[in-house]
Amino acid sequence: MIPFACAKIKGNSAFSHLRGKATFYANPSSGVWIEVEVNGLPDAEGSPIDSGFYGLHIHENGNCDIPFDQTGEHYNPEEAPHPYHAGDLPPLLGSHGYAYSFFYTDRFSPEEIINKSIIIHSAPDDFTSQPSGNSGEKIGCGVIEKCGSY
């Protein structure tokens, strides 16, 4: 598979060692394959945030200026309730500060998410609370760009 979109993920001020990447691959029939690899998650730094699970979402704005407060809401072009936003993704499971995930979604195409952001939250999404799953602080952020342009 050839990547279509990519994001370099960086941590906020409290988690400055957090680094990673997200890669988005177009599926030939529809949807997108998403690969996320992250190091420096809080449990590696002795943080009190140590559940091992972290919320993962696509947010509507591609602005990762710290403290990541300009990323907007979850990407939700259909105005669906949570957890049916297009940008609602499976949680990351971290181990010793590292997480790797590879999954498929048909909620959007790779073209739709260019100039949006991928966000890692400090807590897992509860898949119930409105409007966004009560997943805590934004601890990691990456602007999604067409691969090769970053």
Per domain, the residue ranges of the chain are 3-146
How far apart (Å, rounded) are the C-alpha atoms in residues 130 and 127? 9
* Exposure class string for 40-75: b at 16+ Cβ within 10 A, else e: bbbbbbeeebeebebbbbbbbebebeeebeebeebb
What CATH number was assigned to the domain covering residues 3-146?
A: 2.60.40.200
CA distance 12 to 119: 11
- Blockwise average pLDDT, block size 10, the chain, 150 residues: 94 96 94 96 59 91 97 95 94 93 96 97 90 90 85
Q: Residue 147's CB: how many other CB atoms inside 10 A?
A: 16
Return the pLDDT at 42: 87
DSSP 6-27: EEEEEE-GGGTT-EEEEEEEE-
What's the chain's Rg over C-alpha atoms?
A: 14
Cβ atoms of 24 and 39 within 8 Å: the answer is no
In this structure, are strands 53-54 and 19-26 parallel, antiparallel, or unpaired?
unpaired
Q: What is the pLDDT of residue 40?
A: 94
Three-state SS at 77? coil
Give the burial class of 109: count Cβ atoms within 10 A of its Cβ; 0-12 exposed, 13-18 middle, 19 or more buried: middle
3-class secondary structure, 83: coil
